[in-house]
Chains A and B, each alone.
Chain A
Amino acid sequence: MYAVETNSLTKVYRDFWGRARVKALNSLDLTVHQGEIFGLLGPNGSGKTTTTKLLLGLIFPTSGQAYVLGKPAGDVATKARVGFLPEESYLYRFLNAEETLDFYGRLFKIPKKERRKKIDELIEMVGLTEARKRPLKEYSKGMARRIGLAQALINDPDVVFLDEPTTGLDPIGTREVKNLVIDLGKKGKTVLLCSHLLADVEQVCDRIALLVRGNLRKQGAVKELLADKDALQFTIKKPPADARRRVEELAAEMGTKIEGVENPVETLEELFLDVVRDGEQATDLDKDS
């Protein structure tokens, strides 16, 4: 059983008269294994949020199926095991942090004692202990994000959907969230992370999928996707002074040569851009033909 599985999931947004306005998602086949931290990548408008909403049953697919923990998307019993942090934290401004978590906790039918404990724990974790009694309308964007994250974890979910979890957070907050995601992974939780912040994704995700204009362009383990199969990169700790000469000799012996010698760089970004460029050309061609 996969944590998340979609079969030819297609979503077409229609206007009032039922005419197709935009194809937000085109025949998406996605599988996320349990216990995996999965990154859903794509530029703005590529269908990441649409996918999340479909998986949560907030909107309904035009065709295809979506399954969460083996059950059709939107299944009430499954939702009890799912946590969701939307793109921006949309919460009730008249409640304070405690009341917010209490309200959502009640919806999960968490017993009172346990709920109290969990609320204290989460408020502590997201660093809102000082502001726990203040109404949310007074919160800054970053604080709202933190309480949003806390509400997503109130039910100790098996699968967590995080849509742009680090927007609005300062670098420290960003780091904390990333650590949190890694921790969730270690605890065996499945995390579906939607983001266009490549560094974030690269650091925490086991596998990623790249979406462009509603089409899945790439899917796989981060390491695999980033690896250039025709080349090998060696990283040598504390190389001796003549390391380069000796490696070049070795390469000549093997009938090849060293292409470049440098410190490791961010290559995900290049890949990302390539894929986006390819994807856009491909859809333009589709349209032309």
Chain B
Amino acid sequence: MPIWIIARHSFKEAIRKRILVVAGIFALALVVSAPFWPAMTDSDRVKLVQDISLTAMTFLGVIIAVFISAYSLPSDVEERRIFTLASKPVRRHEILLGKLCGFLMVFAAVLALMGLLGNIVIRSVSTFSRVEVTAAEAPILINGLQIGAVGKGRELRITSTEGEYYSVVLPEDQTLKEAHIAASDVEVDKTSGQVRVTADGAALTRNGVEIAYAERSAEFAVKDLLDGSYTVYLPENLRIRRALVPASHMSAPRRSLIRAKRIVDPVGRVYRNQGAVRYEEDALVFETAVSKIGEIWRFAGIDADKLPAGEDVRVLMSVPGIYGVATDAGAPGRLGGRQIKEFDVALQITHPGSGRLLREAKAKAVWAERSFTMDFDLPRESLLGGAVDVTITHTDPQFLHLSTDFFSKRRTVTWHFEDLKMGRFGSEGKIRGEMLFELRRGNMPADGSAVAHVEFKIAPPSGLRNEIITVPIRSRKRVEFEFSREMIDPHGNVNVAVHKVPEPYAVGVPAKGATVSLLEKPVSFERSYFKAIALIFCQLALVGSASVAASTFVSGGVAALVGFFTYFCGQAVSLMNDILRIGPQAFAGHHHGPAVTPEGGGASWALIEPLLKVFVTVTPDASKLDAKEFILRGMDVPCGDVLAGIARTAAYLAVFMVFACFVFRRKELG
């Protein structure tokens, strides 16, 4: 096959000319630029690397594709190598197609290498350093006391170094799932086999270490009933997943290529929520979803230039979605039969890096429907660092208190989808989940024949958008539900809240069953990345074949211009489509001076429209070959899109090459 021989030859030529060095430059650029990426969190950083790597891959790829394809044939003709080649028993079109195939192989090799290196960088960014237990056994410590141990050779992920300790993510088998509770603080519910907390706050302990705190009337499934202390299963949201291990017992951390920023503050508290920041004329607005006293909200990305003037900056903190308030039963916001209008809040504002206390503030919060706004001042300099942490330390009356008493009509539960941190979820617009609910009040037959159509509010923890879904619930039955992927924030968290329960029912989440599992299988990031790269390959094939076709009748330089022109036209198609959709207004809108008469705008539009229509019909649309949006939104790239992209590319490629072969067949090579 002469085509194959020439293809191999062209490939060899490009490799010998060290084209692949470009991939090395690409990887180096990614690694070297890493410290300058302005991302606060791991997942932001991962998204940034993905974005940069795909953009750089396209950019470098197009340059390589254009130059290789545009200059190859003209330089063969110019340097007369074509004489020896064309005088061999090969047909003209075989030379052309052979070259193109060789170039396609080069593009594939370059992209494969860049993809591999990019993936290594992305993985390196997305994983923390790991350590191995070198001592016979290393204790797992919480509050300085041992709650468990890991054996030699065990590998753990460290999230930060705390003096002589590493903060580690506990492996699944070491995750603390059960705890002890004093028998005096609970009563045993004989029918359900659970214990119910009777004290005003009961300590959940492990080896004498208090690890969590349970509210009155919280229920736990019992594992073991011993005199004096019961062992109970911890609900999902109370499980201990991080702890300290002594560094002396561990190997040195294996450094990742790029050190990820810690999201644990120096005192070992993991901040829970990332709030959004808005700028108003006279105030800075923090928006967050809050559920607990003591939780830290981080407000990052504050732009000093946008801050309102003044020594002290007025901050309005808006906290929507406060549920589960321990007030009069079933009547949030009411206390002692009276509607609460205002309440006092004590705040601590701390430095996000060091945990240093910047200011303690008191604020008046105005209660509105399930949300409230706080108003306080912050010294300007405390905001100049770009981020502050805010903790509510105390409220009066005690509103911001997530009760484990779930028998209210409203309840927010936040699930952290750790798996989604790499943005691994499927291509369809919906996420499917499964959850166990209970219906407790009213005449709910135990056989599950009654159905309550309960509304749930699904929202990201920022609370900035939400979605209401209606789910038919039967008592103690697992229910499936669906919600939009946008509701999962970049950190992989989502709030699921009961929004409206039809009378006479009430809905609760049992301590043991407070789990959500995704029914949709997470997709692997690599697969999406591969598909995105496949589409980039299509782009390169397009500009490459356009350049090759042009190089059959113009010089290399002009052919390169044609290649770039094809690329930029491809980029412009979606814009032109938008203009076509908007119609003459888009065009008339740019006129200045006297108002444009419909006839005037129409006339020039009549001229422009057919040209635009021809342009968008003829030009290959690059936006159809760009899967970056999918990747950045954590979605799987639909296979259909990839196949359609390949088919479109193949069609354009065929047209270009038929034209090129036709020209080259009668070209004088001397």
Contact = CB atoms under 8 A, between A and B. Distances in A.
A91 B670 CA distance: 15
Contacts of B80: 86, 88, 90
B670 A84 contact: no
Interface string B78-105: 0111111111111100000000000000
Nearest to B80: A90
Nearest to A99: B12
A146 interface: no
A76 B666 contact: no
Interface string B370-414: 000000000000000000000000000000000000000000000
Interface in A76-96: 76-77, 79-80, 82, 84, 86, 88, 90-92, 94-95
Interface residues of A, number: 28
Interface string B349-371: 00000000000000000000000
A199 B617 CA distance: 65
Nearest to B6: A107
Residue picked from B80, B86, B88, B89, most chain A C-beta under 10 Å: B88
B83 A84 contact: yes
A84 B90 CA distance: 14
Contact of A108 (B82, B88, B670): B88
Interface in A102-151: 103-104, 106-108, 148, 151
Contact of A84 (B5, B84, B666): B84
B193 interface: no
B670 A53 contact: yes
Contacts, number: 70
Contacts of A59: 668-670
A82 B670 contact: no
B89 A76 contact: yes
A82 B88 CA distance: 8
A136 to B, nearest CB: 11
B87 A103 contact: no
A273 interface: no
Given A60-B666, A90-B79, A94-B17, A151 B89 contact: no
Contacts of A84: 83-84, 87
A88 B83 CA distance: 10
A17 B100 CA distance: 30
B86 A104 contact: no
A56 interface: yes
Contacts of B190: none
A79 B87 contact: yes
B2 interface: yes
Contacts of B670: 49-50, 53, 58-59
A76 B83 contact: no
19 contacts: A50-B670, A53-B669, A56-B83, A57-B87, A58-B670, A59-B668, A59-B669, A60-B668, A76-B90, A77-B89, A79-B87, A84-B87, A86-B83, A90-B80, A90-B83, A104-B88, A107-B89, A107-B90, A148-B84
Interface of A: 49-50, 53, 56-60, 76-77, 79-80, 82, 84, 86, 88, 90-92, 94-95, 103-104, 106-108, 148, 151
Interface of B: 2, 5-6, 9, 12-13, 16-17, 79-91, 666, 668-670
